Amino acid sequence: MKIENPNPIQWQFSERAQQLQSSFIREILKITQRPEIISFAGGLPSPATFPVERMKAAYDKVLSEAGKVALQYGPTDGYGPLREWIANSLSTEGSRILPEQILMTSGSQQALDLLGKVLVDEGSRVLVETPSYLGALQAFSVYRPEFKSVDTDEHGLVPSSIAAVAEGARMLYSLPNFQNPTGRSLSLERRQELVETCARFGIPLIEDDPYGALSYKGEPMPKMVAMNPDGVIYMGSFSKVLTPGIRLGYVCAPLPLVRRLELAKQAADLHTAQLTQMVVHEVVKDGFLDQHIPTIRKLYGDQCQCMLDAMTEHFPASVTWTKPEGGMFIWVTLPKSIDAMKLLDQSLAARVAFVPGAPFYANEAASNTLRLSFVTVPPERIREGIAVLGKLIKDML
């Protein structure tokens, strides 16, 4: 029997819910999923890199050999053998990471939310790069911090600018490798200076690192967590090195913090799927990533170079851009007179999409910036799309 509603509900959303905003990128993605659009807007990894057969075999093995455990509830902190594997992979000669410091999360996006929940009160000062990862700004915003921007230059975050905003800061959120959105990386000297500066002011330093393994050439840079495991909180993800659909990430933090994060996670979702964690452990435990990651690096490196070459050919001299050595993004700075939102209107009409830079700024935005992703677009379409953008920019000059 269907019950009538004589008194229809007048929804009263919490102040927090009223403030929630959809990520601008997710809105653009809805438009850009149409096949005729050449989309440089997405932040999605290339599906060509997903190890479908390897995952299938691992699901089969885990379900056949340990199905009853894999399908049961699991511990909040995560699947022990996978936490151990992660702790070993983060440990270096000089600094040992314990499995107890690792909390498995449902994507590293959940780690951002949990960090906001346990470290930020309304009005707490949170330091972020300019620009920064939009998803982190969105996650922290729920807890209503006061964002203070730390300066960046062409080499990334400028540690000497921290002193001016350090007072009372609850954390500094940093992206040292192939940053989303700019593709920039911090030099070794800057990393050391950043870790030292945060330690001097007693500010917890968050090192969000989903792209660190994706360097096109050369070895990945040392992790800041290895320089100061008592002051740095490291966030990792399997999204960009395996697949994002499994929603698996982790946070490595000093013990007092990780226990708080665990309590917050317990309240949020009890634990991350045990089956997924066991499958990922099965996939990674014998060194699969060592063969797999180079194939991702090669694909992304080639497509990045293709986009950089096309930009040199088609963009006017007054436009500048970053030259990433890894990761998934290029950051473009247009002449000040061009608003990237206006350019987007025109480029969507010409069937090319990108993300304007403004949403990546916590405070004052540079409206003449934009982010391009090259990883899901084949080379001939990259050239075609960049030629269209180059023409539109020239027409707006």
Number of residues that bind ligand PLP (CB under 6 A): 14
Q: Measured from the CB atom, is 273 or 338 closer to ligand PLP?
A: 273
Asked if 156 touches ligand PLP (CB under 6 A), the answer is no
Does residue 180 interact with ligand PLP by CB under 6 A?
Answer: yes
Q: For residue 326, state whether it binds ligand PLP (rule: CB under 6 A).
A: no
CB of 48 to ligand PLP, least distance (A): 18
Whole-angstrom distance, CA of residue 71 vs CA of residue 74: 9
Does residue number 43 form part of the binding site for ligand PLP (CB under 6 A)? Answer: yes
Helix, strand, coil percentages (3-state) for the chain, rounded to 5, are 45, 15, 40
State which residue, 82 or 338, has the beta carbon closest to ligand PLP.
82
- Tell me the C-alpha to C-alpha distance, in Å, between residue 296 and each of 46, 242, 339, 372: 9, 10, 33, 18
> How far lies 217's CA from each of 128, 294, 327, in Å?
28, 10, 11
Helix (H) or strand (E) holding 104: strand 102-105
Decide whether 135 or 229 has the Cβ nearer to ligand PLP. Answer: 135
Q: For residues 181 and 134, is the Cβ–Cβ distance under 8 A? A: yes
Q: Closest separation between CB of residue 219 and ligand PLP, Å?
A: 21
**Binding segment (CB under 6 A) for ligand PLP, from list 237-245, 252-260, 265-273, 372-380:** 237-245
Which of 32, 39, 46, 108 is close enough to bind ligand PLP by CB under 6 A?
108
> Which of 52, 49, 56, 53 has its CA nearest to residue 279?
56
Cα(224)–Cα(150) distance, integer angstroms: 18
Residue span binding ligand PLP (CB under 6 A) among the ranges 93-101, 104-112, 149-157, 384-392? 104-112
Does 143 engage in binding with ligand PLP (CB under 6 A)?
no
Closest to ligand PLP by CB, 185 or 315: 185
Compute the least distance from the CB of residue 358 to ligand PLP, in Å. 17
Q: Using the rule CB under 6 A, is 208 a contact of ligand PLP?
A: yes
346 vs 25, 35, 341, 343, 358, CA distance in Å? 17, 18, 9, 5, 17
Q: DSSP 3-state assignment of 151?
A: coil
CB of 28 to ligand PLP, least distance (A): 14
**What is the closest distance, in whole angstroms, from the C-beta atom of residue 113 to ligand PLP in the complex?**
10
- Count of other CB atoms within 10 angstroms of residue 156: 22
Instruction: Indicate whether 107 belongs to the interface with ligand PLP (CB under 6 A).
Output: yes
315 contributes a contact to ligand PLP by CB under 6 A: no
For residues 240 and 247, the answer to whether their CB atoms sit within 8 Å is no
Write down the least CB distance from residue 16 to ligand PLP, Å.
21
Instruction: Give yes or no for residue 103 binding ligand PLP (CB under 6 A).
Output: no
CB distance 370 to 360 below 8 Å: no
**Residue 265, token pair as written in the block:** 């996670």
* Contact footprint for ligand PLP (CB under 6 A): 43, 107-109, 133, 135, 175, 180, 208, 210, 237, 239, 244, 249
